Structure 1
Amino acid sequence: MATRAVRLFGDPVLRQQASEVVDFDAQLRHLVADLHDTLYDQDGAGLAATQVGVLQRVFVWHGADGEEGHLVNPVLEFPDEELQDGPEGCLSIPGLYFDTKRRLNTIAKGYDVHGRPLQVVGEGRMARVLQHETDHLDGVLFIDHLDPDARKEAKRAIREAEWNQPPEIRVSPHRVRGVLS
Structure 2
Amino acid sequence: MAVREIIQFGNKTLTRVSRKVEKIDEEVLNLVQDLKDTLYSTDGVGLAAPQIGVLKRAILIDLRDGSEPIILLNPKIVKKIGRIEDIEGCLSYPGYEGPVVRPRRVIVTGVTLKGEEVEYTADGFLARAFCHEIDHLDGIIYTDKCKKVYKIEEAEE
Q: 1:33 to 1:100 in 2, by over 3 A?
A: same
Q: Is the 8 A contact 1:6 1:51 kept in 2?
A: yes
Cα RMSD (Å) of the superposition?
Answer: 1.3
Q: What's 1:36 paired with?
A: 36
1:143 match: secondary structure = helix
Q: 1:107, CA displacement in angstroms?
A: 1.1
Aligned residue runs from structure 1 range 8-87, under 5 A: 8-67=8-67, 68-80=69-81, 82-87=82-87
Aligned residue runs from structure 1 range 113-152, under 5 A: 113-147=113-147, 150=148
Deviations 1:108-143 (A, max 9, x none): 101012221121221100000000000000000101
Q: Is the 8 A contact 2:80 2:103 kept in 1?
A: no
Q: Is the 8 A contact 1:25 1:113 kept in 2?
A: no
Structure with more contact order per residue of length (Cα contacts < 8 Å, sep ≥ 6): 2
Distance 2:31 2:94 in 1: 22
Q: Is the 8 A contact 1:78 1:103 kept in 2?
A: no
Bigger mean CA deviation after superposition, 93-102 or 112-121: 112-121
1:73 match: secondary structure = strand
Q: What's 1:168 paired with?
A: none
Q: Is the 8 A contact 1:13 1:53 kept in 2?
A: yes
Q: Is the 8 A contact 1:25 1:114 kept in 2?
A: no
Structure 1 stretches of 5 or more lacking a match?
A: 158-181
> TM-score under structure 1 normalisation?
0.79
Q: 1:79, CA displacement in angstroms?
A: 4.8
Q: Percent identity?
A: 36
Distance 1:128 1:90 in 2: 12
Deviations 1:92-119 (A, max 9, x none): 0012111111001011101012221121
> TM-score under structure 2 normalisation?
0.90
Q: 1:64, CA displacement in angstroms?
A: 3.6
Aligned positions, number: 150
In our comparison, the structure showing a higher alpha carbon Rg is 1
Distance 2:37 2:43 in 1: 10
Structure 1 segments, 4+ long, off by >4 Å, are: none
Structure 2 stretches of 5 or more lacking a match?
A: 152-157
Distance 1:84 1:59 in 2: 23
